[in-house]
Structure 1
Amino acid sequence: MTAVWRGSNPLILASRSQVRQALLANAGLSFETVPAAIDERAIQRSSGLARGDEIAVRLACEKAREVSSRSAGRYVIGADQTLECEDRLFNKPAGRAGAAEHLRALSGRTHTLHAGIAIVRDGKLLFENVSVARMTMRELSEEAIEAYLNAAGDAATASVGAYQLEKLGVHLFSRIDGDHFTILGLPLLPLLAFLRGQGLLSL
């Protein structure tokens, strides 16, 4: 256990995301990683939801609930992020061609990131939150797209917008409005506020 975390057991993060793991670790939280076994696209389709914020929260809740069902007594964090641009929802690109198509669609436009989180314990939803960031991508020529994809490599297909802001993706933007943690996919400040309110943090 860390000096910050006061819970009797570590948190559980229902995500494989290295970025989310790093955010929790850097905040001094004790946690374990147990990826959720859910079909995100099937849940999204069956939910009937169309708005990015609603989908992000629903998927975060479903991830946390699935892991909670096999983690008695533990606080489980679910997280999900959606990208919406001009009424279109984006998923992770399929390969380099898909990443290039994403970048062409986002070039010169402002898109919205919704980062949803949920905390579930013993199947009960204790907390949910969705935070918003708005990202304005600069006009990208075909040459700039090719140069970025060559430099970024496989990382371009690892996130929904074909970019990782904390890495080379920062070169793609002219303006960013929103919380840094929201952009990285885990709204850390509301999460910490909830945990603090539960008496689980020493700070």
Structure 2
Amino acid sequence: MAVFSVCVYCGSRLGASPAYEQIAWEAGTLIGRMGWQLVYGGGRAGLMGCIADATLAAGGTAIGVIPQALLDRELGHRGLTELHIVQTMHERKKMMAERADAFLALPGGIGTFEELFEVWTWRQLGYHDKPLGLLNTGGYYDGLLAFMQHTMQEGFVSSSQVELLQVDDTADALLARLAAAAAAATGPDDYERI
């Protein structure tokens, strides 16, 4: 049986609140303890490095995918189970998506937002049927969630599109829901169309 693989998007910085580092450590520890596989951007700094270190410390597998240009700036995590070096950000995101059974966003910046919105868009277009989760630690994403309600009220986004994103403020509950949804998922899993 294949190992459950979760692609995590999160900040390359630790952020202003200690709660962000704590939730990254908790999520990574849960992934590792469950014997699951972490797929992420391959960085060693910030929440990215934290979740990878926690996954590895708890006995899990950590797969990183990083463009050569970022590795050249010494931002790559050299202690991973696997570190894949690619040429472009497009290759990075494609490989991460292909290696994942589910997607999870922790607090982060514009890179995290872009990655989350891309796989969310792919999901609503039918390019994949993998579950999506948003870990709303300390209300970090409250403004985004309020804005999504606004987009629905203004007629640009449907409630069914918003409901594709599972939101929780605890890592254990959200990871359990993502694993259950991934196990129940059926349908296309074709990133070649993107």
**Please, what TM-score do these two structures have when normalized by structure 2?**
0.28
Larger proportion of strand = 1
Larger Rg: 1
Larger proportion of helix = 2
